[in-house]
Structure 1
Amino acid sequence: MVEQKVRPLIDLYLQYPITYLSLSDLYTYEVIILLIYGIIVIFSFCTNFIAIIIFTFGRRSRSELSPFLLNLSVFNIIMTVYCIPFTITSLIFQRWLYPRALCIVLDVFKTFSVSGVLLTLIAIAIDRYCAVKYPLAIKIYSVHKRNLIALLIIWLLSIALAILWSPARSLPMQEKRLWVNSRSLLKSYIGSIDNVTDTSKSDYLLKSLHYQLVDTIQCVPNKNQRPVEVRRTILNFLQTYFFPLFILGFVYLRIAAMLWRRSNDGNNDLNGTTIITNNLFTHESIQFKKKLKQGIKMLLTVVILYAVLWLPMNVFQLCLNLLCYQRVQYHNFCSHGTLLQLLYIASHFLTVSNTAINPIIYGFANIRFRSDIRQIRHCILHCQGRTSFYYRTRFARTPS
């Protein structure tokens, strides 16, 4: 696995990228990044897990959208647990730390979870569109059956997309990389070799340095398959960003236009220019429209946040593949490894934060959701034995 030191260090440094074997090899800021990511992972898992509990057992926060919001939290947890920790540790250590097969498996999970989130958002948008466009006709169909069919389609499509994308993923590469015991000493050594009149400093630093070539696994796009990776990146951008957001934008614009027209019609109704039947008035009441608008505003916030927080990562991936993974690099920043690493971490952090922010928007910001949290907490702390079971059962089954 390890080659002996048979060539000068500078030759190895120029030929092979650097890798790290333990936490002691990392800079302080890199350890801090790992700790921050650890906090984000724990926070994201906890918020989404609480959202799942509340949407499953909560009474006040239960609505037609609860199954979809619960589904979003499930996919967010899948992304949090199976994708984020493995990605950031491999990025910091500059090598894949886990079994080779896990690289492909986790890429499938990533496609599955992202597709699930987007398909759920699209299903919610279509459901709200039908609620606004056909407020009476939609009541004919059972809400439970309608949601069950929608969720089944979402999961089947997400699984199908993940499986279909798996062959397009390039296999993990085996690559030799250089390990040194101290990057600061290496930097000082490289700076000292220019001094040809006094070599004592460079000789001293070289004696202090320990280095070796290590066989590593790289779970990154294969640079030897440039055309394939470029096409894959573009298609991935279209599938997981452009087309879903285009559909969501189009549907919500249609909803906004219908609500605007009905608002004007409502003003005319107040002036006595229109006669409204009792049945229609029940569904078009001010309270119903206010509740509908609040729900749509919340959903729009989730969609806009997805668009904003995922844009940097998609742009970075496109630039990396189109500019840097070519035989001729078209920009100087492609040669700056530290800059690329920091840009990736910054854009990846934004995408990661999206999984933690979502439950806050559609859950914790809602008064009924917080009320359910207090009631469940009170039941857990103060109810015991059979009484606890009675309250939990009643709490879960009482209709809203």
Structure 2
Amino acid sequence: MDPIWMANNTDLPDLALLDRNWQTFLVILYTTTAIISLASNIVTIVVLVKGERLSSELWKYLINLSVADISMAVFCIPFTYTMFMLGHWVFPVWLCPIVQFTQVCSVLISVYTLTLIGIDRYFAILYPFQTSSYLKSHKLWLVCAIWMVSIGVGLIPYYKTEAVRFAYGNDTYYDCREVWDEESGKKYTLFIFIITFALPIFILTFVYTSICCYILRHNTPGNPDRVRDLAQWKLKIKVVKMLITIVILFAVCWLPIHIFNIMVWFFPPTSINTSRTLYMTYVFSYFFSHFLSMSHSFINPFVYGFMSENFKSSLRRLVTRMWSKRKHMDTELDKYSASHQTQELTSLRINTL
């Protein structure tokens, strides 16, 4: 919702799009989402760094993915829904372009790290000998390239974003917005759609479809064994389901917000204040699509980490090791306390004598 347009074209008594009850619900919902995203990604990083690096081929990518998702939880979730919900920018003016810049960077880093993981698995499974050494030796460079490209693209909204001052009633507010003319805004919206959704979903669909076909066609070497072959087939089906889940979740989480943005730019709801039904449909469509896109930041750790048996085993071993270390420290502390008490008691007896 454009607050400046609302200020000039609507009879609503307040800029806030929803009443206090809905605002409370959204605050709880988004705060919970941010906390879960932050906690799950921190746990993922700790397990990958402190654990046994359960996947030496992917751990750098997974850490990079978690860092990007943490950035989304910190810089995307609290600011975007708040401004839309309240109808104006309530944070410091200087923070406005920084938030827009960080949001674009976080989304690009997260999306293309997912894409890079898919490409890495594609070559590792289908062409293990031709490309494995090259990919292993260039993982850090590829991660750095993702960051450099993301920062470069993020500079576009940074320089095009400003906190626009406007009057509503007897008060003055700010609207944090990217300042585009109509034609440039449409082109930029399509550009963001292509680089953050269309291109990644095409690559992920291709590589994971190829992997699924290869897995289902590939037979276990050696003599036929009914029990072994059945177990291998179940494992293949499990892997295929996980790969399909990755693509579906990516599409479900990100497609609605892109559709919403394209609809707003190409079919702007200029008569929204004439119909309460249209107004509420517009508002809830935004929050529904926005929440799905933000929820992807806590879905990633569960798909790539907590759904993996190796990851869960490493997590259990790490927790067990930390618990054993804690118990050992408590035991040593008890021994020290007992020894110290004995020394004090002996000293007291000597002094008494």
TM beyond 0.5: yes
- Check conservation: 1:121, 1:303, Cα contact below 8 A: no
Q: 1:170 to 1:225 in 2, by over 3 A?
A: farther
CA distance in 1, matches of 2:19, 2:217: 60
1:217-256, aligned counterparts within 5 Å?
A: 217-222=174-179, 225-256=181-212
Pick one of 14, 17, 21 that aligns with 1:18. Answer: 14
Count of aligned residue pairs for this structure pair: 320
Q: Deviations over 1:332-362 (max 9, x none)?
A: 7799444322221111111111111111111
SS, match of residue 290 in structure 2: helix
* Shift in alpha-carbon separation, 1:97–1:308, aligned structure 2, 3 A: same
Does structure 1 retain, via aligned residues, the 8 Å contact 2:107–2:196?
A: yes
Task: Find the aligned partners of 1:129 and 1:174 in 2 and give their Cα distance.
Answer: 50
Residue 317 (1) aligns with residue 309 (2): no
Supply the AA of the counterpart residue of 1:158. Answer: S
Q: How far apart are the structure 2 equivalents of 1:157 and 1:302?
A: 24
TM-score relative to the length of structure 2: 0.78
Q: Within 2, Cα distance between the matches of 1:157 and 1:331?
A: 40
1:333–1:96 distance in 2 versus 1, CA, 3 Å: same
Aligned to 1:46: 39
Q: Describe the SS at the equivalent of 1:96.
A: coil
Superposition deviation, residue 288 in structure 1: 9.8
Runs of 4+ in 1 over 6 A off after TM superposition: 285-293, 330-335, 385-388
Residue 284 of structure 2 corresponds to which residue in structure 1? 342
1:173 and 1:219 in contact (8 A); partners too: yes
**What pairs with 1:240-389 in structure 2 (closer than 5 Å)?**
240-263=196-219, 297-324=241-268, 336-384=278-326
Equivalent position amino acid for 1:176 in 2: A
1:105 aligns with 2:49: no
Unaligned regions of 5+ residues in structure 1, if any?
1-10, 179-212, 272-284, 389-400
Which has the higher relative contact order, 1 or 2, with Cα contacts under 8 A spaced 6 or more apart? 1
Contact 1:103–1:219, Cα closer than 8 Å, also in 2 = yes
Q: How far, CA to CA, are the matches of 2:216 and 2:111 in structure 1?
A: 26
- Inter-partner Cα distance in structure 2 for 1:175 and 1:260: 60
RMSD between superposed Cα atoms in Å = 3.6
Stretches of structure 2 that go unaligned for 5 or more consecutive residues are 1-6, 331-353
Q: Is the 8 A contact 1:55 1:70 kept in 2?
A: yes
Report the equivalent of 1:282. none
Question: Given the alignment of the two structures, is residue 34 of structure 1 paired with residue 27 of structure 2, yes or no?
Answer: yes
Contact 2:77 2:294 in 1 (8 A): yes
Correspondence 1:154 to 2:110: no
- Structure 1 81/370 Cα, relative in aligned 2: closer, same or farther at 3 Å? same
Within the alignment, does 1:120 sit opposite 2:77 as a pair?
no
| CA–CA distance in structure 1, aligned partners of residues 262 and 131 of structure 2 | 42
The equivalent residue for 1:3 is: none
Kindly state the Cα deviation for residue 299 of structure 1 after the two structures are TM-superposed: 4.4
Aligned partner of 1:6 in structure 2 is none
Q: Residue 163 of structure 2 aligns with which residue?
A: 172
Percent of counterpart pairs with the same letter? 28
Compared CA separation, residues 295 and 165, structure 1 to 2 (3 A): farther
Deviations 1:131-156, CA, capped at 9 Å, x for gaps: 1232223454583x232222222222
> How far does the alpha carbon of each residue in 1:177-198 deviate from its partner, in whole angstroms, 9 at most, with x for none?
24xxxxxxxxxxxxxxxxxxxx
Give how far 1:170 is off: 4.3
> Does the aligned pair in 1 maintain the 2:44–2:305 contact within 8 Å?
yes
1:98 is paired with a residue of what secondary structure?
coil
> Would the alpha carbon gap of residues 16 and 165 (structure 1) be closer, same or farther in structure 2, given more than 3 Å must change?
same
- Shift in alpha-carbon separation, 1:122–1:12, aligned structure 2, 3 A: closer
Change (3 A) 1:382 1:270: closer
Q: Is the 8 A contact 1:324 1:334 kept in 2?
A: no
1:218-267 CA-partner distances (Å, limit 9, x unpaired):
12455x8322222221211111111211122222233334444444xx68
Q: Distance in 2 between matches of 1:291 and 1:140?
A: 27
Q: 1:72 to 1:382 in 2, by over 3 A?
A: same
Cα 1:242/1:14, change in 2 over 3 Å: closer
**TM, length-normalised to structure 1:** 0.69
